């Protein structure tokens, strides 16, 4: 069989978030599975995308688990084949040459290689993916259940492996014989858990290539919806499974089993408490490679782990204040990130969605911002001034979910009708009169601001 070689100078290496992929099938996406589905979400981002958002890896299997670690093991076994099914239609799984690096259950790990496919940043169409439409695409299925951090082999005692970080390393090594050695740029990209994996691994990939003598390959990171906060939950619950655990407790428990590898500088800063390095604002100062951060200010996954349930009932005043404060907290943690795109929307993941080109912050789309980032990195390497009128630090200032008019469309779960931002906020229990009073403005002015996204 003829080996596939990459033909572009740019390689986009995608850390797949298979939990979201499989859960969309459970929700009745393009390829529904004949199994019992968890309750669908109240709100759906829908801009021509027929799949529904689903933020957590664990939810689809939570009812079958007896304890936390059994959950972790079964998660990998159930989700890895699901991600493989999604891609098998037009790509072949390439197993790693180093067979000692495996998936969670000990089965062979691998990757999919194709010149281009998919939607959003994966699209081969210039009108949908104007900057990287002709880049080579490599997809690594998420079969390690360790937020791409693990370096622990399977043992008879434990019965499972956590080798996410090692899988990335081995994929990069294998790709050198398939054309990566001639590439100019390697973009490590990922969404949700994959987005966190980018933050944990981008420097390790750069150091690996440098150590192998490939100093001409520029390694960059693109982290989408992986910038989680270790904040206090709206309602604190006992940590009896992966869904009820607070984010910090989930990582604290998991990292012991994963043998999690974090950036060295961050490890030294948080020695003995390395779990801190799984949260973007804590690990980012230690990252040397260029990274572009994409993060919804009102991330569905963050709200879910914080026990804010948008179930169709009007939110209580305390919940509403909590949601607003979440946006404020995220803004504060992102203020020192030089390259980022943060719309004030209620959603999760964007770079692989077909509406990624439509969302704007301050008049700039995400593809445009990424193009500006690429140009600024190129100019910096050539000691040139950054391009004018080409912003790379973009964050919404409006204070409510979906106050940006370019946010993905929200649909009512029960009627299927699209809702504008005012209808959406009122559906959530938003009191225009009271909020206007709190802001010291006329209600009609507030409505005008909401309509325009100002």
**Residue 29 located in a structural domain:** no
Cα angle 219, 264, 101 (rounded to 5 degrees) comes to 70
Percent of the chain with pLDDT over 70: 75
State yes or no: pLDDT of 358 exceeds 50. Answer: yes
Dihedral over Cα of 404, 408, 412, 417: its sign: positive
Specify the higher pLDDT residue, 70 or 397: 397
Cα angle 257, 258, 262 (rounded to 5 degrees) comes to 130
Are 322 and 272 members of one domain?
yes
Q: What are phi and psi of 215, to 5 degrees?
A: -75, -15
Q: What are phi and psi of 78, to 5 degrees?
A: -90, -30
Are 308 and 360 members of one domain?
yes
pLDDT tier for residue 103 given thresholds of 50, 70 and 90: very high
What is the DSSP track for 93-132?
A: EEE-S-TTSB-TTSPBPEEEEES--SSGGG-S-TTTSTTT
pLDDT of residue 242: 62
Burial (Cβ within 10 Å: 0-12, 13-18, ≥19) of residue 86: buried
What is the DSSP track for 180-227?
A: GGG-SEEEEEEETHHHHHHHHHHHHHHHHHHHTT-TTPEEEEEEES--
Are 359 and 449 members of one domain?
no
Say if CB 297 and CB 396 are below 8 A apart.
Answer: yes
Burial (Cβ within 10 Å: 0-12, 13-18, ≥19) of residue 240: exposed
Are 102 and 146 members of one domain?
yes
Are 345 and 424 members of one domain?
no
Identify the CATH number of the domain in which residue 228 sits: 3.40.50
Are 436 and 354 members of one domain?
no
In sequence order, the 6+-apart residues with CB closer than 8 A to the CB of 196 are 147, 148, 190, 223, 226, 227, 228, 278, 280
Catalytic center residues? 192, 299, 348
Q: State how far the Cα of 409 lies from the Cα of 48, in Å rounded to an integer.
A: 9
**Residue 57 located in a structural domain:** no
Q: State how far the Cα of 133 lies from the Cα of 78, in Å rounded to an integer.
A: 32
Say if CB 413 and CB 43 are below 8 A apart.
Answer: yes
Are 201 and 336 members of one domain?
yes
Are 300 and 432 members of one domain?
no
Are 373 and 423 members of one domain?
no
Are 277 and 426 members of one domain?
no
**Residue 188 located in a structural domain:** yes
Specify the higher pLDDT residue, 62 or 217: 217
What would the mean pLDDT of 75-92 be, rounded to a whole number? 46
**Residue 133 located in a structural domain:** yes
Are 428 and 393 members of one domain?
no
Domain that holds residue 445: 412-453
Are 393 and 425 members of one domain?
no
Taking the alpha carbons at both ends of the chain, their separation in whole angstroms is: 57
> Comparing 149-153, 333-337, 412-416, which segment has the lowest mean pLDDT?
412-416
pLDDT tier for residue 319 given thresholds of 50, 70 and 90: confident
**Residue 24 located in a structural domain:** no
Across 3-42, the runs of DSSP E, i.e. the strands, are 10-15
**Residue 70 located in a structural domain:** no
Q: State how far the Cα of 387 lies from the Cα of 376, in Å rounded to an integer.
A: 7
Tens digit of pLDDT for each residue in 386-413?
778 899 999 999 888 888 889 998 776 6
What would the mean pLDDT of 239-266 be, rounded to a whole number? 84
Mean pLDDT value across the chain: 79
pLDDT of residue 405: 86
pLDDT of residue 325: 93
State yes or no: pLDDT of 172 exceeds 90. Answer: yes
State yes or no: pLDDT of 238 exceeds 50. Answer: yes
Global confidence as pTM: 0.81
- The count of structural domains within the chain is 2
Q: What letter would DSSP give residue 263?
A: -
> Tokens 């740019």 — which residue?
10
> Tokens 């439409």 — which residue?
133
pLDDT of residue 237: 76
- What is the DSSP pairing of strand 346-347 with strand 298-299? parallel
For 6-29, give one letter per residue: b (16+ CB within 10 A) or e.
Answer: bebebbbbbbbbbbbbbbbbbbeb
**Residue 65 located in a structural domain:** no
**Residue 33 located in a structural domain:** no
């Amino acid at each position: 069989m003829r080996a596939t070689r990459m033909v572009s100078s740019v390689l986009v290496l995608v850390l797949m978030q298979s939990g979201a992929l499989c859960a969309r099938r459970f929700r009745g996406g393009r390829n529904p599975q004949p199994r019992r589905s968890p309750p669908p979400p109240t709100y759906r981002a829908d801009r021509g995308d027929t799949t529904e958002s689903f933020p957590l890896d664990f939810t689809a299997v939570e009812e079958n688990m007896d304890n936390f670690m059994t959950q972790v093991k079964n998660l990998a076994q159930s989700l890895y084949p699901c991600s493989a099914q999604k891609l098998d239609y037009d790509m072949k799984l390439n197993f790693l040459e180093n067979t000692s690096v495996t998936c969670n259950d000990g089965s062979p790990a691998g990757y999919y290689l194709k010149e281009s496919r998919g939607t959003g940043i994966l699209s081969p169409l210039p009108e949908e993916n104007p900057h990287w439409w002709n880049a080579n695409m490599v997809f690594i299925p998420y079969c390690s259940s360790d937020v791409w951090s693990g370096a622990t082999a399977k043992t008879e005692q434990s019965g499972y492996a956590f080798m996410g970080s090692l899988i990335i390393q081995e994929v990069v090594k294998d790709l050198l014989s398939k054309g990566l050695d001639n590439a100019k740029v390697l973009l490590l990209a990922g969404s949700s858990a994959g987005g966190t994996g980018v933050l944990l691994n981008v420097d390790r990939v750069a150091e690996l290539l440098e150590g192998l003598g490939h100093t001409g390959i520029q390694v960059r990171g693109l982290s989408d919806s992986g910038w989680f906060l270790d904040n206090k939950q709206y309602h604190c619950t006992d940590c009896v499974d992966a869904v009820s655990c607070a984010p910090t407790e989930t990582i604290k428990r998991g990292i012991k089993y994963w043998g999690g590898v974090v950036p060295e500088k961050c490890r030294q800063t948080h020695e003995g408490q390395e779990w801190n390095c799984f949260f973007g604002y804590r690990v980012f100062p230690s990252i040397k490679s260029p990274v572009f951060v994409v993060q919804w200010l009102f991330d569905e996954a963050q709200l879910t782990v914080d026990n804010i349930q948008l179930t169709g009932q009007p939110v209580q005043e305390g919940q509403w204040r909590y949601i607003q404060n979440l946006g404020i907290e995220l803004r504060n943690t992102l203020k020192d990130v030089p390259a980022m795109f943060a719309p004030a929307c209620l959603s999760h993941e964007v770079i692989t969605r077909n509406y990624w080109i439509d969302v704007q912050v301050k008049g700039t789309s995400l593809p445009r911002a990424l193009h500006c980032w690429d140009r600024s990195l190129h100019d910096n390497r050539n000691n040139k001034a950054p391009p004018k009128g080409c912003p790379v630090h973009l964050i919404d200032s409006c204070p409510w979910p979906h106050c940006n008019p370019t946010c993905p469309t929200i649909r009512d779960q029960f009627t299927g009708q699209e809702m504008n931002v005012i209808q959406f906020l009122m559906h959530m229990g938003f009191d225009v009169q009271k909020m206007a009073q709190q802001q010291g403005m006329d209600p009609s002015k507030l409505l005008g601001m909401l309509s325009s996204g100002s």
